[in-house]
Structure formats: C-alpha cells, structure tokens
Amino acid sequence: MNPHTTESDRQTKPTHECGICGIFGHEDAAKLAYFGLYALQHRGQESAGIVSGNGECMMIHKDMGLVPEVFTESNLQRLSGHLAVGHVRYSTTGESSITNTQPFMVTHKGVPLAVAHNGNLVNTIDLRNHLEAKGSIFQTTMDSEIVVHLMARTMDMGLAKAVKESFACIRGAYSLLLMTPDTMIAVRDPNGFRPLCLGRLDNDAYVVASETCALDLINAEYIRDVAPGEVLIINKDGIESIFPWSPRQKSYCIFEQVYFARPDSDIFGTNVYATRKRMGEILAREAPIEADFVMPFPDSGNYAAIGYSQASGIPLEMGMIRNHYVGRTFIQPSQAMRDFSVRVKLNPVRQLLEDKKVIIVEDSIIRGTTGKSRVRALRDVGAKEIHMLVSCPPTVNACYYGIDFPSSTQLIAAQKTIEGIKEYMDLDSLTYLSLDGLVEATGLPEEDFCLACFNGNYPIKPDKTFRKDSLATCIR
C-alpha cells in the first residue's frame, strides 16, 4: 500500500476516494481525529479536513494536501471541543479542488451540520436535479453535498428520523459520519460496501473509523464493525443503534482486501495481512512454477508473495528496492530517460536478478503500463525468466461504488486476453488468482461480496435504471 500516491500511481493503480475518523467525548477530539487520519492517509491523499464541536458551535479546518501538510499545532488547537470528525479525500465524484474538500459543512436554520463521506452514490444526477428543482443551491460538485441537502429538509423531525428519511432515496456506497455541535452519527449503507468500525478510548470516548489501523494508533479498543444498514447516534446520553432500512444482501468490496485497506487492519471481520498471505498460498496451489526465487513489486505485492513463498518452499527475495523518499510529484529529466518514473521509485537489484528465473507477485494489473516498465527493468539487469502471478482475477469492469478505476477502454484485461497481456508485458508466463481462490482467501462466503469489477454482477444498478418518479415521493 502506498503511503503517497504519485501521479504515476493514479494512472496505473485504482485509487480510493476517502477515509473517515470521528471522535466523541474527548477533550483532545480534534488531535485524536488528526492521528486517526494519519493512519488512514492511504485512503486519500488529495485533501484533508477536520470539523470539531463543543456542544454549541462548530469549527472547521481543511485544505488540499496530505494530513501533515494541512494541519499544524496551532490550527489543531483552534479546533476545540469534545467531538471531531476528520476526512481524507481522493476525488471520484466531483473534481479535485478546495471547494470539494471534506468535511462539508452547512448551517441550516441556525444549526450547523457537517458530513464526511467514504463511498459513491449511484443516483446523484437524479437526486441533484430533483433537489435543484425544489430550490436547493449546490456549492460543490460532490455527491456528499446531496446528503446534507436531504438532511436539511428533514432536520425538524429530529436526527434519527432525518437520517431515516434522507437516506431512503439515496442509493450506492456510503460509510459516513454526520456531525452537529453535540452529536455524531455514523451511517453504513445496507450493502456495507465500505468498511466502518467502532472503538472506545480509555475515558469511554467513542471512535468511528474507516479501518482498525486508525484505532490502533490512538490506543482505542476495537468494539465491533458498524453493521451494514446500521446508524449509530452518539451523544451525551451514550450510543444508540438503529437499523432504519430493510436489510439487503451484503456487498463488501473485495478490493479492500486485495489492495486498498492497510494490511494491519481488520476488514469485514478478517485481517487484511492474513487474507493477502492466503491469496499467495492459494496461488501456489493454483499456479505451481519452478523458479530461483519469488519477489513482490513492493509494497502492494509483499504479503501474497510471502504466502506464495511459504506455501511453495521457493525462497522470497526483495528483487526491487523502493525509494521511500519520492514525493507525490518530481521534476522530469530534461533528456528522455527510459522508464525514469518507474526507476525513481523502484530499482532492481542486479546482483540478485542476473541470470535468474523469477516469480513476481502483483496485487492487480490495471493498465499494465507500469508493470511493463518494471518487467523491462528486470530484463535490463539480466533476469532470465519472468513469471507473473496476480493475486486477484482480471479486472474487466468499472466500479460505481467509490473506487476510481479507469474506463474499461483503459483496463488492459478488458482489452486483451491473458495471453495478449503476457505478450504486451514481455512475460514468460502470467497467471491470475481464480475468483473462487480469491473468495476462499477471505474466509467469507461469496455472496457477502461485491465482485463486480471481476464478474460484472453489480449489486446496485447505477443512475439511469432508477425511476425518477420514486424520487419525487422521497424528496420533500
């Protein structure tokens, strides 16, 4: 998992859109949210923000950049109060700009309301059109702003009822935090696409975060996952759990396990490190290959490579060394230097690779361009045979639920056969983990997952198939 996504990563790896972390009941709420966001930086590197509340009013600070670039000791001190909600963002809906940073805050009838959202709504066009027809004026192009407009229309009913009414007409993936000056509300969509967990600090303060790694950093005890379709209302009276909507089939995003989540997190009840290692073990069963050693393209292939090595008995080596000090952008050389942007980040170990048969373990192949350059770098230093194993099936479909895959015209597996990709990348062999093998690695039943980017079975159909007249009855 890359702590910094560079421009070249954006073009070659799918990108997550957001991470969220909320604290209720601690005098240092904003600072704890800041540390939580630090742990969740891999989920979004374009902007960061925190809103805090003290029971009466709310303060906000947000900007473009990484968490340590956006926050200073002094601006964190200004975020006073016992509750805080933080957000790191990578844009999937709405362009990348300061206007679209989150948390997004409005004041309605004198009451401030903020939202921090991880996911992607699939009926935004219809929702926006209906809300605008009823007089809503949008400040941003984010789908998350729709949530605030819907809530504002129903706030008079009380928060629990407002959430129930507002989300009745929203479709898609959302793990989100809403905040007023004295209350934090966590909402997870009934399919449970994105993870969301609940923890507790020593002083009985509550933490809600996208991943458990955020709880670890601030010494919070993991209590449980927020369940699909659950709403948690946290205020001075404690924590109330409600399930306002009828249950739906779970659709956990399996790509969280393949690539997005941090390996030290537990996602959907299973540890990501262990799951990725099992993917490698199953690859060893499905694709036995004779080689001198197995190696990852660090860091994302590391854990499946360990699993493959341990299961096959083939030694593990680090045949490419990562430069950890490469920033998000770098000045390009004035003369053409082949594969410069690849080699500035990962450089092969010539002495290790010369004349060797190697197995590369990758987590996924999206466009194939970076992989091709990396393979060429291995050939340049004398690798004799290069076999690639991928710890998920070919990615052939777009995602509508908050992951930024390129369009299928740019997904190499949608354009070429496996043999064609092997030729394009100049590999001696290429094998993908089977879909059954991927699901087996998670230890959960197949029906608990969204697998749409692999098999095209979308759990919720996007926009056009949703009847507009059904919106007219749910938007007041």
Instruction: List residues near ligand SF4 by CB under 6 A.
Output: 193, 253-255, 399, 401, 403, 450-453
Contact 50, 78 (CB under 8 A): no
Residue 336, judged by CB atoms within 10 A of its CB (0-12, 13-18, 19+), counts as exposed
The 8-class DSSP code of residue 226 comes to: P
Contact 200, 223 (CB under 8 A): yes
Q: Supply the minimum distance, in Å, between the C-beta of residue 250 and ligand SF4.
A: 12
Give the burial string for 190-214 (b: 16+ CB within 10 Å, else e): bbbbbbbbbbbbeeebbbbbbbbbb
Q: How far is CA 102 from the centre of its chain?
A: 15
Contact 374, 9 (CB under 8 A): no
Q: How far is CA 392 from the centre of its chain?
A: 17
Q: Please state whether beta strands 357-362 and 385-390 pair in parallel, antiparallel, or not at all (unpaired).
A: parallel
> Is 197 labeled as catalytic in the residue annotation?
no
Contact 83, 53 (CB under 8 A): yes
- Specify the 3-state DSSP secondary structure of 338: coil
Question: Position of tokens 């309301």?
Answer: 113
Tokens of 450: 């969204």
